[in-house]
Structure 1
Amino acid sequence: MAECSVNFLIEKLSLLVDNEVIIILFRGVREQVVYLRLEYERMRAFLRIADALQDGDEELSVWVRQVTDIAQDTEDILDEFSLLQDHDQAHGFYGSLLKLACCVKNAKASYRIASALKGINSRMKIISQVHKHLRHKFIQAKQGSDSNTWHDCRCDALLLDESDLVGIDKPKKILVEWLIKGGPGREVVSLAGMGGMGKTTLAKQVYDDAGVKKHFKIRAWITVSESCKIQDLLKDMVQQLYKATRRRVPQAVESMNNNQLKRTIKELLQRSRYLIVLDDVWNLDKWHAVKYALPSNSFRSRVVLTTRNADVAAFTSGIESNSKIHNLEPLPLAESWELFCRKTFKGNACPPHLEEICRNILRKCEGLPLAIVAISGVLATKSKWRIDEWDMVSRSLGAEIEGNDKLKYLKKVLSLSFNDLPYYLKYCFLYLSIFPEDHLIEHMRLIRLWVAEGFIEAKEGKTLEEVAEDYVNELMNRSLMQVATTTSDGRVKTFRIHDLLREIIISKSRDQNFAAIVKEQNMQWPDRVRRLSVHNSLEDPLPIRSVSRLRSLFMFGVMEKPLLNKLFPGGFRLLNVLDLRNSPLKKFPVEVVNLYHLKYLSLRDTKVKMVPRYIEKLQNLETLDLKHSQVTELPIEILKLQKLRHLLVYRNEYASYEHFHAKSGFRIMESIGVFRSLQKLCFIEANLEGSEHMMRELGKLTQLRRLGIVKLRRENGKALCSSIEKMTSLRALSISSEEEDDIIDLQNLSAPPVLLQRLYLRGRLEILPHWISSLHSLVRLSLKWSRLKDDPLEDLQHIPNLVHLILCQVHNGEKLCFRSGGFKKLKILGIDEFDELRSIEVESGAMACLEELSIGRCQFLKKVPSGIEHLTKLKVLEFFDMPVELINTIRPDEKCNDCWKISHIPEVYSTYWKEGGWEVYPLESLADGENCPLPKDFINTRELRTRWK
């Protein structure tokens, strides 16, 4: 940890050494800065070893803490100095000197800064003397401290993949049988075991089992944490159940009390066969809060409960008739060894010369899967020929776990995996402590925050975000982060960390004064808070002694309006990150005007409507996140923020059925080309005066990775194409026309970005752009309102890496034919509102990897696709607002004609848009004449849409 602080500080010191303003006005300062840089560089080589050894050596621990404190104090002085230097900048060098001289009040500021640095240097001399005394410890440990070889294999972190698990087949088979068979009433199945035993992993494998999915009409996974409130738990359950039934959550849910929420849950489940998983139930209070909301109907409904508390399992199952408990046991030695080798050696055999050491390490893991995976993540980075490194891991583990206290032991194992991290990952990993328990950490949010905090080291040929992506992969390879959700094209969307890992990093974060977490009013906090994360509630005043050193402020789940000037009357002038996402703000916080160092500002999901002109003072701002706020226009002063890297100003529109996935952008001035560092720009409105010039200005944004444009006019297509050709780093492009019938002209794009992965075109196309079929990196394509005369499948079927394809009103023909050998990697296909379509043919060998198929609003399509039986990997088939004639052909009764064609598909649904939301009916419900969702006087799609509008 101290190494992290020192490395960041050395970079700042280096920037100041040759600063001309310092030489002229602060002659005594430069010498102090030079001395500090030399001292920090001299001891940096030993800090990595000290960080790893300090847990077992009190003397080292004290020294490391002193180095961290003095590094932070030095950083504070330098940042205060930069405020003085850059305050009210004028144009030109002498203008800057004039402003600076006025601001620092001549010699007073010079004396104060020089005096503070002298004090720092005096403390540094004392620390250096201690360093000489401790030098022998560093020399003894140095031999095993230099290896950081990496295997960049993302699959190492995907522990939840069934193919990467061991010892799970037998318990999974038992649990699946308990859920599917058993009595007709509601039954509770409890999974009990200590933390790290794999309760959640096993429950998730059962929950995702194909047979279980098909058996239960409604499924919901509810995470129950120790600190969650009962009302929040019930609201989450209501939202999950509405989602499971494909219906919109009523706004009234937010204002319901606990009894109303319970009644809503009961009504949703009363007539259904449901499966509810309550994951991580810590005490009986949570069970008592929900059990009466889960109806004991006669449809073979089931509740799965995971808990660390054996008493909770015994009580919940003891009072339920025919309910069962499954106690998880440690992995047997053979399965432990299999998992160990799979994670450590990537599935290969253990080298003979390491086997004895590895078996000794494995013995100390005592069959706990999380411990095995964690220590394997450490060992996987070691050279197989450096036996001393492996022996050192074995010896340090043995010294820590002699007490046989499994929970403490597991923390020691995971602490070892933390200590083994290279210095540049330690701050990044500790940063996860700011997020609340069970919070899904968004991938890009985390990367932008790391960049804003200065944790990412620049590497030649890579952007900071690309380096941060490497950091993410390294943490996943060590199994310190788990993938929570992915996009349809395989990109990681969110992460999570194990509860025990989170406990460890919160403890280390607190010990190192890295971050403070506010959850209770009476909690004690350190004197010097650098990062503050407020969870759930916010009371006035906060129990913080001082926030003058604060670098980052986060608000999670804060329902009260955060009045920053009242909560923090002393201010926080050194703030780098301000994240007020989801807070009930209505106005742009005026306190932001003084935050010169601010790099990251998020007002996402707030009610802020206007960005004030004084935002121009945030000269260092890199990320401005106004997504899902009510901002529709930015002031012209925004153009002065030329360090912006990510500008997100848009919201999804749900005004009507047709515009369910539409996006609303923002108006911006035509001189947008000044944002030379911009990587993400979403979504700009292109129907304004001077829009053609703005389209040409976009060509100056050569660093763009994602671009979103709405309301594009046909006449601006040529200028836009010229600009896109210059965006060689572009990964995602989204373009929408102003009206449904307006033409998007993209034919002039002769050299499309070769790295383009995602393309969304929403508007009429006279012909399919010729360049789309040449996009070898394209994995996701969405075409809406195209209305092409020619069948686009001939051109699209050979895109080599296409995974997700959405086609809406794309073709006016009567037939679509998917040819044999086409769409080789396609997994998800959506066909929507083909007005003249009468038949779909799937040839044998076409779409061999297809897993999900949805067909909607094709009023003349009366039969399922011919050849659908060839799609052997198809898991989900869904019909949206399709004619009753088609649905009748797949009813599971004696009269059906085509039911056999889809018998191999685990999930088949018929979905209808009613009263502002989707109503979903599984295939089996179509066999019940009385409960059949299709009325005798069936309303066709057009009438239904007209009624909705």
Structure 2
Amino acid sequence: MDEHDLAVKLKQVLLRNKYLLVLDDLWDAKAWNLLERSLPDDANGSRILITSRLQNLSLQFKPDSKVHHLRHLTDEESWNLLQKKLFGKEGCPPRLSGVASQTAKSCKGLPLTIVLVAGILANTAEDCWKEVTKRLTSSIILDDEYCMKTLELSYSHLPDDLKPCILYFGAFQEDKSVPVRRLLWLWISEGFVRKTKGMRLENVADDYLKDLVDRSLVMVSEQRIMGGAKACRVHDLVHEFCVKKAQDENFLHILHSQNDCFIFTSPSNPLRVCDRSARNLMIRESMLEFPNARNLLSFKEDDSGFWLPKLLRVLDLGKLVFGEYFPMEVLLLAQLRYLALRLNLIDSIPAATADLSRLQTFLARGEYSSDFLLPKTIWNIKTLRHLWTTNPEVGFIFPVENLEASPGLDRLDSLSLAIDPSSQSLQKIPTKLPNIRRLRCKKKASREEPTRIGDGILVFDCLNQLESLTLRYFDRYRFKFPLNLKKLTLRMTKQPWSEISTIGKLPKLEVLKLCRNSFVGEEWEMKEEEFPKLRVLKLSRLCGSRSWTSSSDNFPRLEKLIVHNCWMLEEVPSCLGECPTLEMIE
């Protein structure tokens, strides 16, 4: 029978009958589109169940369909499944229950893993089970041909843009969470993220990550306070697959120890080399050519210099600390797009940094104590997207000499800034950063007497694209905020509660964090119709606040209220209990 005749026959069989149809493991809507015309709806309780690894697939053909997201199995459920696969209805004999239950727990709630492990144990002598459990790693499980085919199938169905993104997880340590912001910046620097009209590269990269999560290849390990992923990881099985696939495709090579030198003599050297040695933990990627190179890079703690391939795009020197000098060899890397250094006792960045004319991300790592003075030439790096520090207590200091004549950094998206508010710097610098979205700003240490309250107004309202703003140590200052602001964090700003109405009027504000001594005074009395879009409110270490009064028209969209270490606060407003959107008080 041809396809048309089959469709007619199927409809005849199902007509006026109550049926359950299961379509297992769909990858697109094509199968549904072929079958839909053959599926009668007689309103008699018939049901169609579809399973897929793509969480959003159902929306392509039936937007109102009910989606059930599968969770990981509990330890008890894992144990029951392993018993069923190994022993059937008889159950596990007592002599094996200890080692078998431990094995089930090590499978981390993934049914596929449990089934594969059951197959291994079923073909192993009972007196060797304990040894198998000790050696139960993803590499053992991956020897199973079925598992490899399963992961290969998921990989082959990925769009071409996503394949290098998932393989990149092989560069990170197994079973470790990866900060999402850093991951997306690396993807962009590597050139994985395709330019899309009307979208920033950071937003496109975020969509890539969401797609990998929807396909169940990446797991969100830490959520942001207002949703979205803050950190992510892949399961051990997926990580091992990524490492093997990356090596097979010459995408990545991993150095596992200090003595694991990599010799670049083959005509087909890998594009990336990652050093996982315990002492340095460096990622060194995007090696595109290695003319006459004998090895990549071998550090010792007393090294005073080092050699780097000139076509390096991404350089992350991990735990290697530069305490007295800036590594000038880095400044010869004309192709560099991503640079992460652990700096200590260094308070200025050399002018030759401008030679890194393609640099997109400069990440300063470490628990250093002093801010970093940028050179005048920093304004010449037109490609800069992110100037960031991992320590929120420090920032970059921009040069302000001849600022009017300096070009702007039109692509800068994220900035950790240290600034002297008593000068005119804060009024001048924002005009040079027209497209910045995320700004973390702290008061630069100053020997001058603090300004009296009311004497200073810090203006940020010219930053029309700014969505996230963090302010630290600007005590005794007032602020003008941009109307586009979605997230605001204040710490040690010592504002009187009368000033909070300025924040309450921001039309798009969704997250507000009032941290340590950001506001002082005993009473917070809210005015009508404040915080119209606020979803998350966090109050932390507001030590002097006793009273907080609100009305029922405040916080119409509040979802989360977090109160930490506000020792004097007597109660939260009772009207919050009437808020229809409130999900959690912590």
Question: Which of 804, 809, 818 is the matching residue for 2:542?
Answer: 809
Q: Residue in 1 aligned with 2:311?
A: 574
Compared with structure 1, are the counterparts of its residues 537 and 816 closer, same or farther at alpha carbon in structure 2 (3 Å cutoff)?
Answer: closer
Alignment of 1:79-158 (within 5 A): none
Q: Residue in 2 aligned with 1:736?
A: 472
CA distance in 2, matches of 1:673, 1:650: 27
- SS state of the match for residue 582, structure 1? strand
Q: Looking at both structures, which has the greater relative contact order when contacts are Cα pairs under 8 Å and sequence separation is at least 6?
A: 1
Query: What does the per-residue CA deviation read over 1:245-281, in whole Å, with 9 as the maximum and x for residues that have no partner?
Result: xxxxxxxxxxxxxxxxxxxxxxxxxxxxxxxxxxx9x
Query: What does the per-residue CA deviation read over 1:627-684, in whole Å, with 9 as the maximum and x for residues that have no partner?
Result: 43535222333232232110114624xxxxxxxxxx2334321238722211111132
Compared with structure 1, are the counterparts of its residues 604 and 830 closer, same or farther at alpha carbon in structure 2 (3 Å cutoff)?
Answer: farther
Q: Residue in 1 aligned with 2:419?
A: 685
Aligned length: 466
Percent identity over the alignment is 23
Unpaired stretches in structure 2, ≥5 consecutive residues: 1-53, 60-66, 82-97, 118-123, 445-450
Greater strand percent: which structure?
2
Question: What residue identity is the alignment partner of 1:483?
Answer: V
Alignment of 1:721-732 (within 5 A): 721=459, 724-732=460-468
CA distance in 1, matches of 2:210, 2:279: 35
CA positional deviation for 1:845: 2.0
- SS state of the match for residue 204, structure 2? helix
CA distance in 2, matches of 1:826, 1:429: 33
CA positional deviation for 1:193: 4.3
Q: Residue in 1 aligned with 2:109?
A: 198
Whether the aligned pair in 1 keeps the contact of 2:486 and 2:509 (CA below 8 Å) is yes
Question: Which of 427, 434, 445 is the matching residue for 1:695?
Answer: 427
Normalised to the residue count of structure 1, the TM-score between the two structures is 0.43
Whether the aligned pair in 2 keeps the contact of 1:650 and 1:665 (CA below 8 Å) is no
Unpaired stretches in structure 1, ≥5 consecutive residues: 1-147, 154-160, 176-186, 204-279, 281-307, 319-326, 328-369, 371-403, 653-662, 854-949
Q: Residue in 2 aligned with 1:641?
A: 381
Larger displacement relative to structure 2 (596-605 or 520-529)? 520-529
Q: Residue in 2 aligned with 1:787?
A: 520
CA positional deviation for 1:561: 3.1
CA distance in 2, matches of 1:440, 1:406: 25
Query: What does the per-residue CA deviation read over 1:903-937, in whole Å, with 9 as the maximum and x for residues that have no partner?
Result: xxxxxxxxxxxxxxxxxxxxxxxxxxxxxxxxxxx
- SS state of the match for residue 330, structure 2? helix
Compared with structure 1, are the counterparts of its residues 198 and 414 closer, same or farther at alpha carbon in structure 2 (3 Å cutoff)?
Answer: same
The answer to whether 1:762 aligns with 2:492 is yes
Q: Residue in 1 aligned with 2:441?
A: 709
Q: Residue in 2 aligned with 1:209?
A: none
Normalised to the residue count of structure 2, the TM-score between the two structures is 0.67
Q: Residue in 2 aligned with 1:51?
A: none
Compared with structure 1, are the counterparts of its residues 201 and 693 closer, same or farther at alpha carbon in structure 2 (3 Å cutoff)?
Answer: farther
Compared with structure 1, are the counterparts of its residues 502 and 639 closer, same or farther at alpha carbon in structure 2 (3 Å cutoff)?
Answer: same
Query: What does the per-residue CA deviation read over 1:818-845, in whole Å, with 9 as the maximum and x for residues that have no partner?
Result: 656765534342254566x556563572
The answer to whether 1:533 aligns with 2:274 is yes
Question: What residue identity is the alignment partner of 1:679?
Answer: D
CA distance in 2, matches of 1:781, 1:149: 31
CA distance in 2, matches of 1:449, 1:309: 47
CA positional deviation for 1:485: 1.1
CA distance in 2, matches of 1:442, 1:636: 31
CA positional deviation for 1:531: 0.9
The answer to whether 1:825 aligns with 2:558 is yes
Compared with structure 1, are the counterparts of its residues 523 and 763 closer, same or farther at alpha carbon in structure 2 (3 Å cutoff)?
Answer: closer
Q: Residue in 1 aligned with 2:64?
A: none
CA distance in 1, matches of 2:465, 2:379: 22
The answer to whether 1:171 aligns with 2:77 is yes
CA positional deviation for 1:195: 8.4
Q: Residue in 2 aligned with 1:601?
A: 339
Question: What residue identity is the alignment partner of 1:725?
Answer: D
Question: What residue identity is the alignment partner of 1:675?
Answer: L
Whether the aligned pair in 1 keeps the contact of 2:78 and 2:109 (CA below 8 Å) is no
CA distance in 2, matches of 1:194, 1:788: 52
CA distance in 1, matches of 2:432, 2:261: 51
Whether the aligned pair in 1 keeps the contact of 2:363 and 2:390 (CA below 8 Å) is no
CA positional deviation for 1:705: 1.1
Q: Residue in 2 aligned with 1:651?
A: 391
CA distance in 2, matches of 1:471, 1:577: 20
Compared with structure 1, are the counterparts of its residues 779 and 572 closer, same or farther at alpha carbon in structure 2 (3 Å cutoff)?
Answer: same
Question: What residue identity is the alignment partner of 1:702?
Answer: P
Query: What does the per-residue CA deviation read over 1:155-205, in whole Å, with 9 as the maximum and x for residues that have no partner?
Result: xxxxxx996338659638999xxxxxxxxxxx99943249867269999xx
CA positional deviation for 1:777: 4.2
Question: What residue identity is the alignment partner of 1:416?
Answer: L
Compared with structure 1, are the counterparts of its residues 825 and 687 closer, same or farther at alpha carbon in structure 2 (3 Å cutoff)?
Answer: closer
Compared with structure 1, are the counterparts of its residues 414 and 310 closer, same or farther at alpha carbon in structure 2 (3 Å cutoff)?
Answer: farther
- SS state of the match for residue 573, structure 1? coil
Greater helix percent: which structure?
1
CA positional deviation for 1:509: 1.2
Compared with structure 1, are the counterparts of its residues 311 and 415 closer, same or farther at alpha carbon in structure 2 (3 Å cutoff)?
Answer: farther
Whether the aligned pair in 2 keeps the contact of 1:785 and 1:810 (CA below 8 Å) is no
Whether the aligned pair in 2 keeps the contact of 1:150 and 1:474 (CA below 8 Å) is no
Compared with structure 1, are the counterparts of its residues 559 and 191 closer, same or farther at alpha carbon in structure 2 (3 Å cutoff)?
Answer: farther
CA distance in 2, matches of 1:436, 1:172: 26
Query: What does the per-residue CA deviation read over 1:747-786, in whole Å, with 9 as the maximum and x for residues that have no partner?
Result: x54xx33352343353132422434224454333122332
Q: Residue in 1 aligned with 2:226?
A: 489
CA distance in 1, matches of 2:388, 2:125: 44
From the CA coordinates, give the structure whose radius of gyration is larger: 1
Question: What residue identity is the alignment partner of 1:664?
Answer: V
Alignment of 1:367-406 (within 5 A): none
Alignment of 1:485-564 (within 5 A): 485-520=222-257, 521=259, 527=266, 528-537=269-278, 548-549=289-290, 560-561=300-301, 563=303
CA positional deviation for 1:314: 4.5
Question: What residue identity is the alignment partner of 1:781?
Answer: L
Compared with structure 1, are the counterparts of its residues 693 and 522 closer, same or farther at alpha carbon in structure 2 (3 Å cutoff)?
Answer: closer
CA distance in 2, matches of 1:699, 1:769: 26
CA positional deviation for 1:799: 4.0
CA positional deviation for 1:488: 2.7
Larger displacement relative to structure 2 (664-673 or 704-713)? 664-673
Question: Which of 171, 194, 207 is the matching residue for 1:434?
Answer: 171
- SS state of the match for residue 584, structure 1? strand
Whether the aligned pair in 2 keeps the contact of 1:732 and 1:757 (CA below 8 Å) is yes
CA positional deviation for 1:480: 1.2
Whether the aligned pair in 1 keeps the contact of 2:193 and 2:201 (CA below 8 Å) is yes
The answer to whether 1:676 aligns with 2:410 is yes
CA distance in 1, matches of 2:407, 2:425: 10
CA distance in 2, matches of 1:194, 1:416: 26
The answer to whether 1:615 aligns with 2:353 is yes
